[in-house]
A and B are shown apart, each in its own frame.
Chain A
């Protein structure tokens, strides 16, 4: 377990943080045997992650599949019970809350999912989907809304996400992917949250629709003063939407900086390779680019590692990289990197 027991913030910088994640680990047991399950190993999906999100900003979390970005979001939302670490939301540790406290905290912390087809109940009308959070919180006495008020709220939520209020009695299958994602966003907004955890919200959409949803999310951020944790594998989308960006590799954050700095002067060799691998939709620019082609695949996250997680694929590895784990260290103001090219073990 992490040190301390999650009380209030300690210094000025942290005080402005809406969410503060420290030492977050999420390991999943690997079991064997049909009847008597035996734990034979651990998948280290998230293996020690620290970051904070300031009020009103968008933090982009980017990485390739299996790097732990979705698990991080789910652990923050307490959909998983983290193996270790602290998740301070407005200064209170979500991991140590009882059920009742968590329910009222979750009101301020909502999720948007990748697949709008799978995340909407096909048997519920759009109106029921969007109003369900309001009804649950009213039923439990955490909100006081009459039926009529819930109805009005639902309609204005549909307005806010650009859907006609006549859609309340329609079912999800009657909508396109982009419209379904708007329904998912309306549902996330229903409780007037402070933080939205958006897990690949535009990856399943075509480009022309993706632009609509990205613009909508930005408009809503301004209108409602939202804070976003925006998870995506698409680095161009992340650059477009984020103030700051964290790059994950194999369960850890390898680099975090403001969006402009990270894209214009990346430090970690993995970030550099990742950025160079993204094709740019411009044939003239493409011809002049040099690609860093990484050797091999991402290793399996089931082993305890003694060195830098990236060292076996890294072209710039040094001797110390195999035996020492580089900590995420601030090497320039606001720019943290976990790499021995910038400091010694």
Chain B
């Protein structure tokens, strides 16, 4: 049961057409999400992690964006061929999302109760009174004090951390199978971040919800995710169990990323490792390893072709010509 795959993403390409050319925001991404697990998508800005998840929810604004190729299967049904009605039932029902900024994701003109009750009634068909009871119960579950009173407050009457709790309550109110959390703690202070992480961990375990956690923070994924996908320039460059990935990172980007983060538990005052250069522009990206201009081990083949994934066992895989067939040691 643990290993049952509920969401399959297969070779998704989400491109945006702009005046300057085609932006390949997501360029061939595949992963599986298993029941009850927490999967981390880690990457820096522009790596395509948010676009991946907007693609899963079919929330890519079109035009300019388009899912050019690939398939997304939720319980063996293709999300890409769902009707509008089916999509509405899926979004917020069986897959729900929380975002980075809880202020812009709540309607400032409506009471929390109105927004929560609306979601619950829409997806669960409860009457008003019972939906309200459930809303209060959800707020209690995410640790909002005096929920029966606070439920009638407006979003601006809550602090940032409390608003994110409301978002989590709303997202989990329909007992979704999948929760997509897009940088859920980035806008919050560390002590509040710690509270929110505990709530997500606790509730996903209690309710059996699978979580896709999108973040740039290697610290947050260390404590939350069983498996990780490291993204760079619209591709997954390395994936595997969190422990294996941190213990023995294979892709030069992953290695550099882990080494460049200052650590709280290390006495510092020494130079940080830094990856030279900046992430590439995704406009009219040629078929090559997008990391090669910043890679100290770049070879000729890196400049002309994108490497296939090499399997290191236990689901640990990386896309790098150092390991791939046809590369240096292939």
Contacts and interface: CB of A to CB of B under 8 A. Distances in A.
Interface of A: 64-65, 176, 178-179, 206-212, 214-215, 218, 233-237, 239-241, 259-260, 263, 273-287, 291, 293-294, 297-298
B264 A233 contact: no
B325 interface: no
A283 B242 contact: yes
Nearest to A239: B268
A301 to B, nearest CB: 13
B157 to A, nearest CB: 12
B256 A233 contact: no
B315 to A, nearest CB: 15
Contacts of B219: 236, 278-281, 286
Given A208-B44, A209-B278, A280 B257 contact: no
Q: Is the interface of A mostly helix, strand, loop or mixed?
A: helix
Interface in B151-168: 159, 161-162
B263 A236 contact: yes
A280 B45 contact: no
A283 B162 contact: no
Interface in B59-98: none
A234 B262 CA distance: 10
B190 A233 contact: yes
A248 to B, nearest CB: 12
B266 to A, nearest CB: 8
A277 B264 CA distance: 11
Contacts, number: 134
A35 to B, nearest CB: 25
B45 A206 contact: yes
Contacts of B20: none
The 10 closest A-B pairs by CB, nearest first: A279-B219, A281-B218, A211-B274, A64-B189, A240-B262, A277-B194, A211-B260, A206-B44, A240-B268, A286-B223
A208 B161 contact: no
B275 A294 contact: no
Contacts of B44: 206-208
Contacts of B306: none
A211 B273 CA distance: 7
A208 B257 contact: yes
Nearest to B43: A206
Contacts of B300: none
A218 B192 CA distance: 31
Contacts of B4: none
